[in-house]
Structure 1
């Protein structure tokens, strides 16, 4: 995905389109390109915005789910964004949840896919194992139902991150923060319309996690996609976009 990176103050982001704002938050090893299929589809009807989350560039004291949620709130304030449709994948979903709990006035709806916040299988106790390319490749491919989605480019990117000692420390800090920051007790406070899209073959946040979110977020609807892992918007973008389009359309006409 090659789009112009915009900058306002310290915030870097991709933005195209006009209409109701749709803000997309990527996960721990994610980049804005994870949303390329979604971005292409929705920019004709929505103002689609993808901030580059500095997950591994925050100082260590703010390298936490709460620290990233504060960053997102400052980003939305800087761009003067209100009534946003906030979408998050994996850790990005967790950040979207924390942001919605703390700043409900900014959020019109919430879309979660493979979100952490209740339960997740991390990359394993030995992760990240520095310098072991095959191990990283195997772990990256487990994110998807179809291992071919874990392209060499994606694996190379994760491999280079895990070979940076400071970044590894921050990955571990974020992963521990996600485990500590379990939202089970708080989710009932969320009353925003919420769409949950889950891969039936997600091994990181398995299907029961989607069911649990659906049970705890009162105004939520849950959809499963077969032959799909932890990042449906990457693996099956057409099905994902159709579900999201239906949800946003329904909100517009309600």
Structure 2
């Protein structure tokens, strides 16, 4: 059984799975959920990055979680939209289950290069440092609330949760997929913030070059979470791609 609090499902039609990032949450996809659920069945699992067993706090462990989640819901074919770490998990899942994934949308995805704090220990008790790090994720910091920053601060000040975050971040840097991206056969859409400092624009170009059947779109005045920063533009870009 899957607890209803562990995922959101809304709408009817072809299935689309949305995967959030390292410090992400179900709410990151609110605008996309509202838009897509008019024509599709949209499912958003809560990926237990901070709660998963420490031995599985890595890309493969989280991909296994998503795979088990999909199997429990008995989903046969679907599209995946992944942001940041969620994109990395989406890529890994697609490589392992190519016949199930019809279309793939990546936005600010890790998997090639990611400028995160995975290489250094975060200043856990320093609220201002954490505030600055979170703000670097967005071109306009007004997109995020103090409540969100408080949650990140709380997470990083919990020993177990912080270690899981670090393990996952370091795993994302280790699990470089450059040699495997040519195996991705499904239509792939890349949506990138032109001002992304975590997975800079050149990373998007690398993904575009390495994934054969891919298309790249940039959004100006946008950083690492286009679906939150410019939801209307994001939805306008994904709509025709999903309809094809």
- Is there any run of 5+ residues in structure 2 with no aligned partner, and where? none
SS of the residue corresponding to residue 105 of structure 1 reads coil
- Aligned mates of 2:118, 2:80 — CA distance in 1: 29
How many residue pairs end up in the alignment?
244
Residue of 19, 37, 46 corresponding to 1:43: 37
Residue of 184, 189, 198 corresponding to 2:183: 189
Counterpart position of 1:208: 202
Residue of 54, 63, 66 corresponding to 2:60: 66
Is the alpha carbon distance of 1:125 and 1:182 closer, same or farther for their aligned partners in structure 2, counting shifts above 3 Å? closer
What per-residue deviation string (whole Å, max 9, x for no partner) do you get for residues 24-55 of structure 1?
00001000000000001111100000001111
Is the alpha carbon distance of 1:16 and 1:116 closer, same or farther for their aligned partners in structure 2, counting shifts above 3 Å? same
The offset of 1:191, in angstroms, is 0.5
SS of the residue corresponding to residue 104 of structure 1 reads coil
- Is there any run of 5+ residues in structure 1 with no aligned partner, and where? 1-6
Is the alpha carbon distance of 1:11 and 1:76 closer, same or farther for their aligned partners in structure 2, counting shifts above 3 Å? farther
The offset of 1:10, in angstroms, is 9.2
1:240 maps onto 2:234 in alignment? yes
Structure of greater relative contact order (alpha carbons < 8 Å, 6+ residues apart): 2
Is the alpha carbon distance of 1:222 and 1:98 closer, same or farther for their aligned partners in structure 2, counting shifts above 3 Å? same
Normalized against structure 1, the TM-score is what? 0.93
What value does the CA root-mean-square deviation take over the aligned residues? Answer: 1.4
- Aligned mates of 2:107, 2:101 — CA distance in 1: 17
The offset of 1:198, in angstroms, is 0.2
Is the alpha carbon distance of 1:185 and 1:44 closer, same or farther for their aligned partners in structure 2, counting shifts above 3 Å? same
- Aligned mates of 2:228, 2:155 — CA distance in 1: 21
Counterpart position of 1:160: 154
Residue of 77, 86, 111 corresponding to 2:80: 86
Matches within 5 A, 1:36-185: 36-123=30-117, 125-185=119-179
- Aligned mates of 1:151, 1:131 — CA distance in 2: 19
- Quick check: 2:193–2:223 contact (8 Å CA) kept in 1? yes
SS of the residue corresponding to residue 237 of structure 2 reads helix
- Quick check: 2:84–2:110 contact (8 Å CA) kept in 1? yes
Counterpart position of 1:25: 19
- Quick check: 1:11–1:75 contact (8 Å CA) kept in 2? no
